[in-house]
Amino acid sequence: MLLLSFALENRLRETNCVVYGDSTKTEIPHKYDCHYPDVVITCDDRENDEMSIKYPSVIFEVLSDATAGCDRGEKFKAYQKSEVLKHYVLVSQKLSLVEGFSKLDQGWLHDSYTQPS
């Protein structure tokens, strides 16, 4: 997660986006629910609390055996209710696999990325 955070911070350096790690609470306004994603990016100027993100743009979850079910199920269902979240990214620890979900007008588009053999 640390390498992912550093890479994202480096890439987003010249933008108004900020990268936060797994100790930052992310609130979902519709459900009045909160989670602690592995990495969250916010690009919203309304954000003013480093300990609690209300306007996430991108959320990353690193999948483990213990968290994969929740990350794909309960958390994703909650995150889908956010009006501001644009992307949800699942990173596998076991496989060379990254899954991305992008919010569109008609729902969420799923893409998979693997390392070529």
Any long-range contacts for 20-26 (C-beta under 8 Å, 24+ apart)?
20/50, 20/53, 24/50, 24/51, 24/52, 24/53, 25/51, 25/52, 25/53, 26/52, 26/53, 26/56, 26/59
Query: At which residue do the structure tokens 């890479």 appear?
Result: 7
Q: Which residue has the tokens 């996430």?
A: 56
Average pLDDT score, the chain: 90
State the pLDDT at residue 31. Answer: 52
Spatial distance between the Cα atoms of 114 and 25, rounded to a whole number of angstroms: 29
pLDDT category at 113 given cuts 50, 70, 90 is very high
Q: What percentage of the chain exceeds 70 in pLDDT?
A: 94
| CA 71/CA 93 separation, integer angstroms | 13
pLDDT at residue 107, as a whole number: 93
Range of weakest confidence among 48-52, 54-58, 64-68: 48-52
Domains and CATH numbers, the chain: 2-114 (3.90.1570.10)
Question: Which pLDDT score is estimated for 81?
Answer: 86
Q: Report pLDDT digits (tens) over 37-53.
A: 999 999 999 988 878 89
Cβ 24 vs Cβ 36: under 8 Å: yes
